[in-house]
Structures are given as C-alpha cells and as structure tokens.
Amino acid sequence: MTIRPMQAADIAPIVAWMLQIPLWQRYGFTAERGARLFNRAFAQGDLLRVADLADVPACGFCRVVLNGAFARSPYLQLIGVHPDHAGLGIGAALLTAAEEAVRPNHRELFLLASDFNTGAQRFYQRQGYQHIGTIPGYVLPDVDEYLFWKRLSTPAES
Ligand SMILES: CC(C)(COP(=O)(O)OP(=O)(O)OC[C@H]1O[C@@H](n2cnc3c(N)ncnc32)[C@H](O)[C@@H]1OP(=O)(O)O)[C@@H](O)C(=O)NCCC(=O)NCCS
C-alpha cells in the first residue's frame, strides 16, 4: 500500500465510490458536492492524502483542514476507504500518515464522528482518539456529533 498526496485526477474516481457509502448518503453527499468539496480543499491548501493498493488506485483518502478546529488545530474532516477494501488497515495507514504530516507544527488532531457510526468510533478509539464532547444535532438535526481528540505530542516535546 502507498500513501501519497491527492492529485486533481483522483477526485472523480474517489467521489464515484463515496456515493456508495451509506454514511455520506445520509448526509446528502452528491457528485456535485463532492467535486466542490475537493476543489475547495485543493484551493485552500488542505492536507489531502490518497491510498493506492498495488492493483487498486485511490481506494482511500483523507482530508485535514489545517486550522479547522478553533482556528488553531488541524481537523480531520473526512476519511474514507472504498467499501470493497474496508477492514484491511488502509484507514489506519491514512490516519497515521495524516498525523505524521501535521505533527511537526501541531500538537493535536480533532475530528467528529456521527453518533450512529460505531465502527468509525471504534476505529478512532483504537488509534488513540478520545471522545471528549458531544454536539447535539450539529449537522443533521437527528444525529449527534461526537468530538474526538488526540494529543500528538506534549508541549514539552514540541
Ligand atoms: C472508518 C474507515 C475509514 C476505516 O478504514 P478501514 O481501512 O476500513 O479501517 P482499518 O482496516 O484500518 O480498521 C478496521 C476498523 O475500521 C472500522 N470499520 C470497518 N469498516 C467500517 C465501515 N464500513 N464503517 C465504519 N467503520 C468501519 C471498524 O472499527 C474496524 O474495526 P473492527 O474490524 O474491529 O470492527 C472506513 O471503514 C470507511 O471509510 N468507512 C465508511 C466512511 C466512514 O465511516 N468514515 C469515517 C467518518 S468521516
């Protein structure tokens, strides 16, 4: 598996499989919204990483908005793996790569997980993230967003 920076050519194939993911269907994700989202992410210099398997390009990705949490800390806004390749460690490799990329300049990483997305919550907890708060009905009126946080280094180390 290789983790590399996302290219503009990755947008269309990634958006195509994102449309199949029930989580994002519930949030009203469409091809148009996906293209807009990634174009904005490139324009504002977000951290965008893609995972390739030897025979499957662009089967996972993540997006980190560098000052997206409190105009201070990086915020992992999206992470996803093609449904046919989930559970193989691709998500863990992407998350580790994102942490390594921000660690030189930031001490922590924040993210949100939907209350019903117990698989992702388990995934984040296993990666060392703590559930530190809940934002009721923040994005969808009937879904609470769980705020997760991981300290990447202590103040003394940075
Ligand atoms: C969550 C996700 C990024 C994890 O990537 P992955 O490559 O499957 O993860 P890994 O192989 O490194 O780790 C496996 C763990 O991921 C989680 N996971 C696996 N499939 C999942 C799915 N379809 N939905 C949510 N979490 C899932 C589980 O915690 C799993 O551990 P388990 O086998 O003990 O249950 C990926 O499954 C995914 O894209 N899910 C759908 C979108 C999503 O929920 N994104 C996160 C919120 S933005």
Give the single-character DSSP code of 20.
Answer: T
Q: What is the pLDDT of residues 84-143, one digit of tens each?
A: 999 999 999 999 999 999 999 999 999 999 999 999 999 999 999 999 999 999 999 999
Per-residue pLDDT, 157? 62
Mutate to test the pocket of ligand 1, among 99, 121, 123 (most ligand atoms within 8 A of CB): 123
Amino acid found at 57: P
- Cβ distance 97 to 138 under 8 Å? no
Indicate if the alpha-carbon torsion angle 78, 71, 131, 151 is positive or negative: positive
CA 23 and chain centroid, separation: 13
The pLDDT of residue 158 is above 60: no
52 vs 88: CA distance, rounded Å: 12
Q: Which residues line ligand 1 (CB under 6 A)?
A: 21, 23, 78-81, 86-92, 113, 117, 119-120, 122-123
Q: What is the pLDDT of residues 8-60, one digit of tens each?
A: 999 999 999 999 999 999 999 999 999 999 999 999 999 999 999 999 999 99
Q: Ligand 1 centroid to 40 CA: how many Å?
A: 25
Per-residue pLDDT, 155? 65
66 vs 47: CA distance, rounded Å: 7
Report residue 143 as tokens.
């879904």
Report residue 36 as tokens.
């807009």
Q: Which residues pair with 96 in a beta bridge?
A: none
The CATH code of the domain at 2-151 is 3.40.630.30
The pLDDT of residue 156 is above 70: no
Among 87, 155, 153, 158, smallest CA distance to 120 is for 87
Q: Which residue has the tokens 């019903």?
A: 116
Q: Ligand 1 centroid to 86 CA: how many Å?
A: 6
- Cβ distance 114 to 21 under 8 Å? no
